[in-house]
Amino acid sequence: MENSGEIEKLCPYTAQENWTDVVPASVNSFYIEFKVYPNILYANSSVLKNLLQQCIEDGIIENYDPLTQEEPLILGGYISHEYALEYVPDDRLTEYQFLLVYDQSSNV
């Protein structure tokens, strides 16, 4: 499924895994294999909601109460010193996988 200027890697995920462990490990594996960091993470909507909930519980996102917020919180991505990932919902993926993509035309 690789297009010109795009590299993809499908990664497994289980609900027992912590995103703070599995995503960096998968990104590093992607980098080792392709010599470039991914810039997009596609995942099922429910997986992204679980990631958001985990970030709230872990204190990565603070002072968020869905009952008092006027707008729903959308987790748009992740930025580190080495890479930035845009999170994109894709319900064609199962709840047990996510897709890392390097797209050279992306603005991330």
Cα–Cα distance measured from residue 7 to residue 93, given in angstroms and rounded to the nearest whole number = 17
Q: Write down the domain spans for the chain.
A: 6-61+71-103
Q: How many CB atoms lie within 10 A of CB 2?
A: 10
Cα–Cα distance measured from residue 88 to residue 33, given in angstroms and rounded to the nearest whole number = 22
Q: What angle do CA 99, 28, 96 make, to 5 degrees?
A: 30
64 neighbors 19 (Cβ within 8 angstroms): no
Cα–Cα distance measured from residue 67 to residue 91, given in angstroms and rounded to the nearest whole number = 26
Per residue of the chain (108 residues), give pLDDT as tens.
445 679 999 999 887 778 778 888 999 999 999 999 999 999 998 888 887 777 777 777 666 666 666 665 556 667 778 888 888 889 999 999 999 999 998 775
